[in-house]
Amino acid sequence: MTSKLLKGLGWGLLILVLLLALPTALHYDKIRRLQHVLSLFEADRIVDNFLHMDTAFPTHKISRSSEPRPLARGPQLELPAQFRTADSTVLSQDFLDATGTTGLLVLHRDSIVFENYYRGHSAEQTHISWSVGKSMVSALMGIALAEGHFASIEDPITQYVSELKGSGYEGVSIKNILQMSSGVRFEEDYADFYSDINRFGRSFALGSSLDEFSTSLVNERPPGSYHHYVSINTQVLGMLLVRTTGRSLSDYLEEKIWHPLGMEGEAQWIIDDAGMELALGGLNARLRDYARFGQLYLHQGRVGDRQIVPQQWVLDSTRPDAPHLEPGDNPLSAHRKGYGYHWWIPERSDGDFVAIGVYNQYIYVDPHKDLVVVKNSANVHYEKDYDRSQTYSIDFFRAIGATFPDRVAAATPVLSTR
């Protein structure tokens, strides 16, 4: 074989390699994101992943307030050494360790009485909210309704989001979607590689449109008859907000909540390739700013002399109003916790309510105790220990609340703007 032929074969092989590599290079970001999704919950990476989601995915930035509202410091709380559950006594430190706690903050009477960070988390870092962010989407819904961007939560969502016609959301009311009672078929099992939520995650990582995925779902039950948690419900509410306000979710959140609450840190909201936010759980924020949001709901939507979220919306959001939404052993629900408008109501609730995200993220509010507890976590055991970790978390928060007296009956307190 001549050198000329060899040289020709060499160039041909090089060109072939380049042609084969070109699509990979063009889609490098998508492949990298898919690798990130597939390793998101691995034990040796989960903490770092949850603290740096903004570097793995494209985001919209939400700027910190130009006038951050300081959180007062109160007498330091000593956490309960142990707490009771239905079947055992649990050591608090064992619980914090077992659930992979990365941050814990307790507000009592609007003062920080406990704040600690673990596993490399810090006060200046943001942490993925997962479904805790759904409760912020609910707040935006209440604000948008009050501003007249849509007429009523009794309206079908297809009245405002025409792309959903012909999907499982055809004719489903906005209220049914807010209450996770849309009747849409969806498997929310993070332990099952082929579940709808994991299929959704892989699709998102590869650049698929969040809007298009939402239109692909079908209905399996009459709307408003059964409580079944479907994360895509929040995504279609995000579509509604974008269509009716003419704003991105990030811009609307920044103007209506982030700046009025005096949030101290920048937040990031994960977006798809078209720029649509991952409404169902892509917000990243600081622990103290999650606490400020919990404070807002503790005080029924007010900050200073401003009603940020309508008071009636807050009240309606944090209590069930139909049999299928009641907590406990409920044949009309797939869950033991009750539900409002994207807020959970625990069993044996005495007015307490909670925003919950997978892998043990929480904003817990107990108005009777003037209490807000925020917990960031990266629980590697979550998929196997889902029910117990959630039950223990509520029991732990209630044990913290038990160390404080009940609020003295008085006019609704208002957050200070200091």
Q: Which residues have C-beta within 8 Å of that of residue 294, sequence separation ≥ 6?
A: 107, 355, 363, 364, 365, 372, 373, 374
- In sequence order, what are the beta bridge partners of 104? 116, 375
Q: Are 56 and 282 in contact (CB under 8 A)?
A: no
Q: Are 198 and 190 in contact (CB under 8 A)?
A: yes
Distances (CA, A) of 178 to 139, 153, 312, 373, 382: 11, 9, 15, 24, 25
Q: Which helix (H) or strand (E) holds 365?
A: strand 361-366
CA atoms of 225 and 152, how far apart (whole Å): 20
The verdict on residue 292 lying in a domain is yes
The verdict on residue 2 lying in a domain is no
pLDDT value for 266? 98
Tens digit of each residue's pLDDT, the chain (418 residues): 444 433 444 555 555 554 455 455 446 677 777 777 788 899 999 999 999 999 989 999 999 999 999 999 999 999 999 999 998 999 999 999 999 999 999 999 999 999 999 999 999 999 999 999 999 999 999 999 999 999 999 999 999 999 999 999 999 999 999 999 999 999 888 778 888 888 888 888 888 899 999 999 999 999 999 999 999 999 999 999 999 999 999 999 999 999 999 999 999 999 999 999 999 999 999 999 999 999 999 999 999 889 999 999 999 999 999 999 999 999 999 999 999 999 999 999 999 999 999 999 999 999 999 999 999 999 999 989 989 999 999 999 999 999 999 986 544 444 544 3
Name the 3-class secondary structure at 371. strand
| Residue listed under structure tokens 């849309």 | 182
Show the 3-state SS of 57-106.
Answer: CCEEEECCCCCCCCCEECCCCCCCCEEECCCCEEEHHHHHHHCCEEEEEE
- In sequence order, what are the beta bridge partners of 219? 184
The verdict on residue 77 lying in a domain is yes
Structural tokens at position 78: 């000593």
The verdict on residue 14 lying in a domain is no
The verdict on residue 173 lying in a domain is yes
Q: Domain of 78?
A: 46-401
Q: Which is nearest to 173 in space by CA: 39, 216, 164, 84?
A: 164
The verdict on residue 290 lying in a domain is yes
pLDDT value for 408? 67
pLDDT value for 203? 81
Name the 3-class secondary structure at 7. helix
Structural tokens at position 157: 């969502």
Q: Are 227 and 324 in contact (CB under 8 A)?
A: yes
The verdict on residue 263 lying in a domain is yes
Q: What is the DSSP string of 257-301?
A: IITTTT--S-EEEEB-TTS-B-TTT-EEE-HHHHHHHHHHHHTTT
pLDDT value for 223? 98
Q: Which is nearest to 87 in space by CA: 404, 387, 403, 401?
A: 387
The verdict on residue 19 lying in a domain is no
How many domains in the chain?
1
CATH code for the domain of 215: 3.40.710.10
pLDDT value for 1? 41
